[in-house]
Chain A
Amino acid sequence: MATSVGGLYGEKAGGPMLDFSYVGIDAILEQMRRKAMKQGFELNIMVVGQSGLGKSTLMNTLFKSKVSRKSVLATAQEKIPKTVEIKSISHDIEEKGVRMKLTVIDTPGFGDQINNENCWQPIMKFINDQYEAYLQEEININRKKRIPDSRVHCCIYFIPPTGHCLRPLDVEFMRRLSKVVNIVPVIAKADTLTLEERDFFKKKIREELRANGIDVYPQKEFDEDAEDRMINEKIREMIPFAVVGSDQEYQVNGRRLLGRKTKWGTIEVENIAHCEFAYLRDLLIRTHMQNIKDITSSIHYEMYRVRRLNENNTMVAHANGIPEHHLTAHEM
C-alpha cells in the first residue's frame, strides 16, 4: 500500500524529492480531518410546535431512522401534557465512517393549552440552562479536554398550514427565541396547500417576519463574505420550507420511496416538485450543519456569556457597596 504512505508525505518513500517548492502544509487539512473523524460530531436539534403537526415524523424522515421520542419511548402517550415538557433523546448514528451523537429535543405541550401565555418560558429556560452548563465547564479550573456540547444548535419551528398568516403565538415565540437560538421555521403538513396557496403563505410569512424584526436562520447579519451571502440569499428567498414527512415507503414508478399515499395520488417526500423536504434536509445536514453549530457557539453562546459576565460584575460591585449600574434584564 505504498500509495497511502506516499499520499501522506507527498513523495515516494526513500527517494530524494525533486520538487523544490513543496513544503506540505496542506497536509494539515488531512490531520484535522482524521482527528475530527476520531472524535465524532454532536448535533442538538429542538422541535417546537403544536401537537399533531408531524414533528416526530419529520425527525424520523430527516435521519432515516427512528430517532424521535415517539419511536423510542415505550409509553408514548398521545395525551397532551398539562405544561410544556422538555424531552431529549440521544442517538449515536454513523454514516461512511463519520460518527454523530444526535440529540432530538422535543417540546410536547407547547401551544396546546387553552391559555398559552408564557409557554415559551420553559423552552427559553432550557436553552439558557444549556449555555450555563457549558459556561460552567469552561470556567472550571480543571477543564475537560472536550467540553460536551449540549447547547441547542437549531430549533425547528412548525407553523400550521393555515394558509393565511402567522398566528400571534408564532410571532411571540419566534421573536423571543430568535435572539438566543437559530430558528428554522417550516410549514408543517404542507400537503394541504396547493402550490399557489403555498407561495402566498410563504410570502405572507416572510413579510410578517420582517415586519416584526424576527431574524431566522440564516441570519443576514452573520453572512461572512460575498460567497456566503449569495448562497444564503437564495435560501432566505425560500424559507419557510413547506415540508411533508413520512416514514412509510411506497412503490412509485418501480422505485420504493418515502411518501404518503392518498386516493388521489402519492406524495413523494423527497421529490422537490411535491414538497420542500429535500431543501430542508440539505440545508440542515448536508451544507449548513457546521455553520449552524458555529453560529450557536460563536454568537448566541458568546452573547449569553457576556450577559453573565456583566451580571457578575454587578453582583461583585453590589457586594462591595458600589451602586449598581443599570442593566437590561433579559426578558423571558
Chain B
Amino acid sequence: MQRDTGVTAVRYSESLVARGSLCEKQYVGFATLPNQVHRKSVKKGFDFTLMVAGESGMGKSTLVNSLFLTDLYKDRKLLNAEERINQTVEIIKHTVDIEEKGVKLKLTIVDTPGFGDAVNNNECWKPITDYIDQQFEQYFRDESGLNRKNIQDNRVHCCLYFIPPFGHGLRPVDVEFMKALHEKVNIIPLIAKADCLTPNEIKKLKDRIREEIDKFGIKVYQFPECDSDEDEEFKQLDKELKECTPFAVIGSNTVVEARGQRVRGRLYPWGIVEVENQSHCDFVKLRNMLIRSHMHDLKDVTCDVHYENYRAQCIQEMTSKLAQDNRMESPIPILPLSTPDVDTEKLIKMKDEELKRMQEMLNKMQQQMHDKEQ
C-alpha cells in the first residue's frame, strides 16, 4: 500500500506465540472484544421484521403466535366471503417488544391479508413487492442522508410463505409469488396445516415441492454452509435441517394433556397432535432455525444481498436519469461517483479555466502598473 511520499505500510502475519521466556501474564486482553461488542448490542436491543404470506385460513396467525408466544391478533375481525370479494391485498404491521434473559427484541410482523383470496388473483403480490421496495427505499434515503444517528431498519428480513397441503405441489400462484419475491426477500416456504397429511404424503409433497422449486428456478433462503471446524453433532443437525425443507408446520396456542404432560397441541377424536413433538411436525425445527440459529444470518443476507441489489439498481437508474435530464441536482445527497458525470466535469473544467484566465489578466495589469511606476 503505497501512497504519497512519506507514507508506507507493511503487512505481516504473526501469531501471538508464547515467547521462550516464562513471563507471566502473556495475556494481552483483547480476547474480551466479543464481550464488549455484546454489551453494546444488549443495551441497544435487536429488531426483526417477519412477513407472512399465504391465503386466508392457512394458520398464519396461529403459527406466528405459537412461534413467539404472543397474542398479536387479539382484536382481529375475520371477513366473510362476500366482504372478501372486493378486498385488495392489504399490508398490516404488528409490532411487539419481547424481552428474554435481558435481551430485547422489537419484533414486527407484516401481515398480508387478502393475498390469493380473490377470484382473480392476477398480480396479487404487487402490493407486497411494493411494500418491500418502499422499505428499501426508505433505508436507502436514511443511509444517504446527513443525520444517520438513529436509522430505523424496517426492511423485511424474512418471508414465510404458506403452501396449502391440499394440492400436489406448487400452484401457479405459488410459483409466481415466489419468483416475484425471491430476489427481494429471504423466502422460507412452509407446508401449512400439516396435520391433514400422513407422514408418507408429507414426504412426497416435500420432494415434489423441492423439485418444482428447482425446476422453476426459485431462489428460496439457503442455509449457510457449516464450518469445517464445527462438531459432528452440529453438522448432523444442520444436514437434517436442510433435508427437511420445506418445513411442514402445525400451530397451536391451546394446551392439552397428552401422555401425562401438558403440551401445546390440537385435540382430535383420533388423537392429539403435539406442536412441539418433532415426530409430529417441523414446528420445532422452524422455530430453532428462525430464532435460535439463523436470525442473524437472515438479517445479514437481507442487508448484504437483497438490499445491495436494490441499491445498485437504484443508483444506476438515478444516474442514467440524471444524464438524460441533463440536470445536476439529485433528490438525495450523493457524492461524485468514481466515474463522474461527463457533463459535470466539463462544466467544472470550464469554470476553472475562466478563473485562471481572469487571474492571468489581473497579474498582467498589476505588472503593467508596477512597470509604469518605475
Contacts and interface: CB of A to CB of B under 8 A. Distances in A.
B328 A319 contact: yes
A98 interface: yes
A10 interface: yes
A145 B303 CA distance: 9
Interface residues of A, number: 97
Main secondary structure of the interface of B (DSSP, over half): mixed
A85 B8 CA distance: 9
A257 B23 contact: yes
B369 interface: no
Given A8-B292, A270-B25, A26 B103 contact: yes
Nearest to A270: B25
Interface in B286-306: 287-288, 291-297, 300, 304
A91 interface: yes
A37 B284 CA distance: 27
A122 interface: yes
Given A31-B297, A32-B296, A36-B37, A316 B328 contact: yes
A290 B308 contact: no
Contacts of A20: 69, 255, 264
Contact of B234 (A4, A62, A86, A224): A4
Interface string B23-60: 11111111111101111111100100000000000000
A43 B37 CA distance: 14
Contacts, number: 240
B31 A309 contact: no
A323 to B, nearest CB: 13
B291 A23 contact: yes
A286 B278 contact: no
Contacts of A325: none
Contact of B24 (A100, A255, A289): A255
Contacts of B7: 85-88, 126
Interface stretch (A46-54, A135-143, A171-179): A135-143
Given A93-B16, A140-B338, A32 B288 contact: no
Contacts of B291: 23-25, 27-28
Interface in B337-357: 337-338, 344, 347-348, 351
Interface of B: 3, 6-16, 21-34, 36-43, 46, 67-69, 98, 100-103, 105, 146, 148-149, 227, 231-234, 237, 255, 261-264, 274, 276-278, 284, 287-288, 291-297, 300, 304, 308, 311-312, 315-316, 328-330, 333-338, 344, 347-348, 351
Closest A-B pairs by Cβ, 3 of them: A290-B36, A31-B296, A96-B31
Interface of A: 1-2, 4-5, 8-10, 13-14, 16-18, 20-29, 31-33, 35-38, 41, 43, 62-65, 72-73, 83-98, 100, 103, 122, 126, 129, 135-136, 139-143, 145, 224-225, 249, 255-258, 270, 281-282, 285-291, 294, 298, 302, 306, 308-310, 312-313, 315-316, 318-320
